[in-house]
Amino acid sequence: MRPSVEGLPEPDLSVHPIGLGRNEQGLAGRRRNQIALLERFGLRSTSRLLEIGCGIGWLAFDLAAHLDDAGSYVGFDVSPEAIEWLRENLAPRLANFRFDLVDVQNPRYRPKSTRRADEVAFPYSDGQFDLACAFGVFMHVERDGIAHYLREIARVLEPGCPALLSFMAVTPNDIEPRNGQRAYVAIAPGVYRNRPDREGWSLAYDDALIRTMIADAGLAVVAFEEGAWHGHRRDAGSETVPGADLYVVSPEHR
C-alpha cells in the first residue's frame, strides 16, 4: 500500500539552494530524469533507498508515490534548514521516510562547520540499503571526501545492490572541457574547477581517477552513462540521459 500524497507540500526552494534557482523547466527535467534513472537501475516499490545530499527534498517528494509500506527512504544533507523543513513538512506525512542532518563542512552549503567530509561516518548500519544515489553531490566535494564517501556507500549497501552516482568526468575526448560558458581549469592532477575563484564549487575529475577511487572503495562499476554535458550524445534531450556522468556501482561481495 502506498501512502496518500494528496496535499503533500512541495519543497520550498527558498530554504536551500539547489543550483537551478527558480528555473522551473530545468528543475522539472532534473526530477523526471532522476526518477527514470532510478527505475532503470532497480527502483521498486519495496526499495530501501538512501539519498546522499537530499537537499530540500524533491526526490523524496517524488518517491512518495513510488514506495509502499514495505519500502523506505532515508536522505541526509549538510543543510540544517533543509532537514528542519523536511522533518516538519514531509516526515509527519510519510512514516517510512527519514531525514538526517550530517554535520560536514562544505564551502558552498555549510562553510562554518569544521568537520571534514573524510571524517564523517554515515549514521547507518552495514548493509542497511538496497539502493542508493548521490545526484549532483560530488561536484561539491573534494577528492579525499569523495574517497571516504565511496567507502561508506560500500559499507551501508547490501553486496550486489546498486548506487547511482553522478560526477563531472573529464575523459581524453574532452578537449578544453567546459560546462556552459565556463572552462574547467586543472587545480591538481586529475582535478578541475570551472569556478577557480570559489573553493569547492563545480569540481570535475578525470574518469580514470573516479574509477580508481571507486575500485579502492571496494565497489565495482556495473554501468556507465555519459552525461549530456559533453555534447556528444544525440539523445541528450531524453529524460533517461543524465546531465552529468552517471556511474552505477555496487559493493563487491564481502
Q: Long-range contacts for 40-43 (Cβ within 8 Å, ≥24 apart)? A: 40/240, 41/162, 41/164, 41/223, 41/248, 42/130, 42/131, 42/161, 42/162, 43/131
This prediction has a pTM of 0.92
Query: Nearest to residue 56, comparing CAs of 123, 121, 10, 125?
Result: 10
The 10s digit of each residue's pLDDT in 134-187 is 999 999 999 999 999 999 999 999 999 999 999 999 999 998 898 878 899 999
- What is the pLDDT averaged over residues 15-28? 63
Query: Nearest to residue 53, comparing CAs of 139, 151, 168?
Result: 139
Q: What is the pLDDT of residue 46?
A: 97
Q: What is the pLDDT of residue 253?
A: 61
The 10s digit of each residue's pLDDT in 193-239 is 988 777 777 899 999 999 999 999 999 999 999 998 888 777 766 66
Q: For residues 168 and 184, give the distance between their C-alpha atoms in angstroms, rounded to a whole number.
A: 10
- Residue ranges covered by each domain of the chain: 32-251
CATH of domain 32-251: 3.40.50.150
Q: What is the pLDDT of residue 184?
A: 93
Residue 210 in grid coordinates: 573516479
